[in-house]
Chain A
């Protein structure tokens, strides 16, 4: 963990708090801000905090950051110790659990007062609602996206992946790509048969929800059998990497098949373009996940890449809400934070930063703009146990890849285990 006490004031406040003394000088609040992410994000976040403290000398902000891997463990431990940070960077997959367990503060009462959401469209606020109340504000909009080596695709005459490329078409092109590249250990795509977001999009394009509003799995054994078969056919045709390569992927950018030079397509999120490009020499571009039947909507949707929530235990709810407002709606803060967390929800911020975006930022912005009327509405929240289902999907896809199970058997055991997991959670 890194503690970023930014100013001497901050340090003083921290040491005063450590010493257990109430601070002698006029300090309205000391706020703890907690987020996950890489160095670039930490720098932007700290700069934004520093700017706020400059404008509000009576506020001290102490930043805490860890990587995604340890983030939720640490947060849960802090929740157990009744020691949650005041401002918490939240994920769409976790906000329901934390909100329903009353660890987060409902924000509706602050809107229009401490919290300025005037530049937000209703749909961009929707993603932070749980049971009708606002528990988190979007820090940036993103969507799922293929991140791929566009030039390699062009070189082999397989064309850029322009919407709509159907699933069947994607498989055909992937196999052709690998054949044309003719390089041992190099394939068109990573194996996304174990990827929750990919399955989610695929199911939606068949008119089904991965998780229904009442917290059930929306597909059936026939769907899953077809899904596992799709990827098994990909492996056989050489369209995606073999299973022992895919198993090296630890669900982060560093160990992805694209970054390791084993594949030209990664199944990712649009705001990760920056992260992927930083580790890849080839010029990367974004493309939508494959499409369903002609004329149907994409199974993708726009979602908050991250949200910012307040802890229900915060001692300074008003001050915390003001700082939250600064992060999501202030133009100057927006210029520092830019699109690193996704496209800002506030129109005023978007307008202010658009002219100065670098090419990657521009591409993320244009991607979100061009997919906006192709995508579906935000699906219902993932139920408790969704994380465990995703881990199980990964494992089941491996049993097919390593030929431990037929696609039909894998599908049956997947559906059975989903039922067990969701019933227990």
Chain B
């Protein structure tokens, strides 16, 4: 039998990483958020000035918050709905299921990658694929990625397309629902939709809840697609200026590290608040009996 001490040794690398690379820098950024720091000169203590500016004097921030909320509110429900729909189709037990599963999961694996965002830019740009396709049916479309009316929706579409990971989780959840419940329901004359509404959805709520929380957090943190598609500007006219992109510009574009650190902590608080709200309301609609 192994002595307990050995276990701690095996955990050491993880602890080093956690304290050195995660907790340490996080605490440092908390301290920095009370300073003005341009990377070259040493940080200068400014008290709560950064936070005061955030809540009182930053109209660009207000815009980035609006864009981010719009993105979260649109992308999460559409993505979850789409993921659930695909999971239900795959759950019917069609031939070659594992192949489909892998294929549908693929975009999610590529999801965070720069290449996909670059591809997206090509598809939705001025003479991109979509534009050409629409021309075939006689529609002259604008350049979606570079038009402030549409740019944010291309980002939502990109997010929805990466439905693989919630889909896999939904699929696992669907498999857990006992067959005989449906059989009993059919015998009682329940139609397809009634079965979905009264059986599938309630029994799936724990999985739905998990997906909702994870995807919401992810959506708040989204950065790469907006960065690539707008070339780092958040344009046109700030229409893709995600909160994270604004934070990045403040930090690495204009070297206001202290202000950016304050923005980062505000994001942490906002995500924590949203997640807490989700957990508090969960009691009312998540059914854990099974």
Contact = CB atoms under 8 A, between A and B. Distances in A.
A81 to B, nearest CB: 9
A73 interface: yes
Interface stretch (B19-27, B178-186, B215-223, B228-236): B228-236
B245 to A, nearest CB: 12
B232 A247 contact: no
A45 interface: no
Nearest to A243: B236
Interface string A283-307: 0000000000000000000000000
A404 B237 contact: yes
Contacts of A391: 233, 253
In this complex, which of A98, A262, A402 has the most chain B Cβ atoms within 10 angstroms of its Cβ? Answer: A402
Interface in B191-250: 231-233, 235-238
B143 A76 contact: no
Given A244-B126, A247-B146, A402 B38 contact: no
A388 B40 contact: no
Interface string A243-285: 1111110110001000000100000000000000000000000
A398 B235 CA distance: 9
A73 B252 contact: yes
Contact of B236 (A73, A80, A398): A398
Contacts of B148: 398, 402, 404
Nearest to B37: A80
B289 interface: no
B237 A399 contact: yes
A185 B145 CA distance: 17
B153 interface: no
Given A80-B39, A103-B40, A402-B148, A395 B238 contact: yes
A37 interface: no
A246 B235 CA distance: 11
Interface in A75-108: 76-77, 79-80, 97-98, 101, 103
Contact of A247 (B40, B235, B254, B255): B235
A394 B235 CA distance: 9
A344 to B, nearest CB: 30
Interface string A383-425: 0010110010011001100101000000000000000000001
A122 interface: no
Contacts of A399: 237
A215 B287 CA distance: 63
Interface residues on B, range: 20 to 34
Contacts of B39: 76-77, 79-80
Interface in B142-192: 142-143, 145-148
Contact of B237 (A101, A245, A388, A398): A398
- Interface size bucket, A side? 20 to 34
A248 B236 CA distance: 9
Nearest to B147: A244
A395 B236 CA distance: 7
A69 B249 CA distance: 12
Q: Secondary structure of the B side of the interface?
A: loop
B143 A101 contact: no
B146 A245 contact: yes
Interface in B34-66: 38-41
A226 B268 CA distance: 44
Most A CB within 10 A of own CB, among B127, B238, B255: B255
Contacts of A262: 126
Given A251-B231, A398-B148, A244 B143 contact: yes
A407 to B, nearest CB: 15
B125 interface: yes
B40 A80 contact: yes
A391 B147 CA distance: 17
A103 to B, nearest CB: 5
Nearest to B231: A250
B225 to A, nearest CB: 15
Contact of B232 (A69, A103, A185): A69
A248 B143 contact: yes
A98 B40 CA distance: 8
A73 B39 CA distance: 10
Contacts of A247: 143, 146-147, 235-236
Contact of A101 (B41, B142, B231): B41
Contact of B235 (A73, A101, A395): A395
Nearest to A249: B231
A402 B231 contact: no
B246 to A, nearest CB: 12
Given A73-B252, A245-B126, A402 B40 contact: no
A388 B231 contact: no
B236 A101 contact: no
Contacts of B237: 395, 398-399, 402, 404
Contacts of A387: 253-254
Contacts of A244: 126, 142-143, 146-147, 236
Nearest to B142: A244
Interface string B85-128: 00000000000000000000000000000000000000001110
A101 B233 CA distance: 27
Interface string A103-123: 100000000000000000000
19 contacts: A76-B39, A77-B39, A79-B39, A97-B40, A98-B40, A101-B38, A243-B146, A244-B126, A244-B146, A245-B126, A247-B143, A262-B126, A385-B254, A391-B233, A395-B237, A399-B237, A402-B237, A404-B148, A425-B254
Given A98-B40, A388-B253, A398-B237, 9 more contacts: A73-B252, A77-B39, A79-B40, A101-B38, A185-B127, A244-B236, A387-B254, A394-B235, A402-B237
Which 10 pairs of residues, A with B, have the shortest CB-CB distance?
A247-B146, A250-B231, A80-B39, A244-B143, A247-B236, A76-B39, A101-B40, A73-B252, A79-B40, A244-B147
